[in-house]
């Protein structure tokens, strides 16, 4: 090979490499056949010396034996990720899960822009992850990382990239202030007595407090789901309040259940329905603008109510924990509580409320000793 000419080439069976001086810098050009037999070209310039261009061209061929992958590495991360979720996730995961993947795509673009796959180093990836972590909880950052990493591992498998930039990434996030998991019996009772159940948000809070239902289950209720004759709520679906896709299946098959309610709750529901005049097939907590409150809105409403009543703050989901805890403390069996909550099995209930069950077991031991003492006297 001539070392001094401006144009030089090396030809193989399927690959031809040429070098050219453009101004003050050198460029290499690799012509190759793709898997369809069509000739493609891969160029890169900016080398001060021809020897540097030769070395870079050789390195490219070593790292990307089929060379198509080298061309693919020019694709932006965001573009590859969108194609990946469309091919591997769209018709496999649920609509809600796919929406989560799409949300990740939006965040990828906001953080990495049009950064090419080959330009995504470990340092740049970690910087992007750290930037995302400034405004998101650690759990959210972890989910974000897992979805991107799955995509990058696919690119690694295809030899589009030669290293995994997401390997050993450090996951951080915003520390959320600690919130009580449940209310005491007195505060629970105080909250229930001071709710205006003619208002949509406060009626939702009331139903959560007296049934332990999940938020999606509550906002998925229609008037037909209320059995006034037999005093129960029929939980057979949920409402997608986050992505607004309408009615959905319950979390699990065991979530389909009938929840017994008291006469006061039935009366409040009857008065609520009279006041709001809601069509049979429409969620009873949808307002006149066809809007169902999202979790952030109901949590804000609950926080404001608790502040007004001088009650320690809990999340909306904390009402479910409160309901279950109070039932257990009042002597309702773990099995009954499990069925009322719609848990898939009693083990879930036991593990969730282990601290309460242990406390109750301790009290039971005292009862057992007391019974035996009375018998053996």
Model pLDDT for residues 21-49, shown as the tens digit of each residue: 988 999 888 777 665 667 777 788 888 88
Q: Where are the domains of the chain?
A: 7-66, 77-157, 185-358
C-beta separation of 50 from 19 below 8 A: yes
pLDDT of 151 reads 95
* pLDDT tens by residue, 135-177: 999 999 999 999 999 999 998 888 788 889 999 999 999 987 7
- Say which residues have a Cβ less than 8 Å from residue 248's Cβ, sequence separation at least 6: 96, 216, 220, 237, 238, 239, 240
Average pLDDT (345-356) is 89
* pLDDT tens by residue, 198-221: 999 999 999 999 999 999 999 999
- Considering the domain 185-358, what is its CATH architecture? Orthogonal Bundle (1.10)
pLDDT of 29 reads 84
pTM: 0.65
Q: Beta-carbon neighbour count of residue 200 at 10 Å?
A: 20
Going by pLDDT thresholds of 50, 70 and 90, the confidence category of residue 81 is very high
Q: What CATH code would you report for 7-66?
A: 3.10.450
pLDDT of 295 reads 92
User: What is the residue whose two structure tokens read 């057992």?
Assistant: 368
Fold of 77-157: DNA polymerase; domain 1 (1.10.150)
Q: Distance between CA atoms of 345 and 278, rounded to whole angstroms?
A: 35
pLDDT of 361 reads 74
Q: Distance between CA atoms of 216 and 236, rounded to whole angstroms?
A: 11
């Amino acid at each position: 090979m001539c070392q001094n000419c401006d144009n030089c080439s090396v030809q193989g069976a399927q690959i031809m490499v040429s070098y050219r001086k453009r101004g003050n810098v050198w460029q290499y050009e690799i012509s190759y056949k793709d898997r369809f037999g069509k000739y493609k070209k891969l160029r890169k310039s900016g080398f001060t010396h021809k020897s540097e261009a030769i070395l870079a061209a050789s390195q490219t061929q070593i790292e990307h034996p089929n060379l198509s992958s080298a061309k693919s590495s020019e694709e932006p991360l965001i573009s590859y990720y969108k194609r990946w979720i469309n091919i591997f996730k769209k018709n496999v995961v649920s609509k809600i899960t796919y929406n989560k993947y799409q949300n990740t795509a939006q965040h990828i673009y906001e953080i990495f822009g049009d950064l090419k796959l080959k330009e995504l180093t470990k340092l740049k990836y970690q910087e992007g992850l750290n930037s995302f972590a400034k405004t998101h909880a650690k759990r959210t950052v972890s989910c974000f990382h897992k979805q991107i990493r799955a995509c990058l591992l696919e690119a690694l498998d295809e030899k589009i990239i030669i290293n995994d930039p997401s390997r050993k990434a450090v996951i951080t996030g915003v520390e959320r202030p600690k919130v009580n998991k449940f209310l005491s019996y007195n505060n629970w009772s105080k909250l229930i007595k001071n709710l205006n159940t003619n208002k949509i948000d406060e009626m939702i809070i009331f139903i959560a407090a007296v049934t332990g239902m999940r938020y999606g289950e509550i906002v998925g209720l229609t008037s037909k789901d209320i059995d006034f004759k037999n005093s129960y709520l029929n939980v057979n679906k949920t409402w997608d309040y986050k992505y607004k896709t309408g009615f959905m299946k319950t979390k699990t098959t065991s979530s389909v259940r009938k929840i017994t309610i008291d006469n006061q709750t039935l009366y409040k529901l009857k008065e609520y329905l009279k006041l709001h005049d809601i069509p049979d097939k429409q969620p009873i907590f949808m307002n006149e603008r066809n809007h169902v409150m999202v979790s952030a809105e109901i949590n804000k409403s609950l926080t404001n109510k608790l502040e007004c009543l001088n009650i320690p703050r809990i999340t909306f989901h904390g009402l479910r924990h409160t309901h279950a805890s109070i039932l257990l403390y009042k002597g309702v069996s773990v099995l009954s509580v499990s069925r009322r909550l719609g848990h898939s099995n009693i083990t879930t209930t036991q593990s969730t409320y282990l601290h309460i069950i242990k406390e109750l077991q301790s009290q039971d031991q005292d009862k057992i000793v007391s019974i035996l003492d009375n018998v053996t006297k």
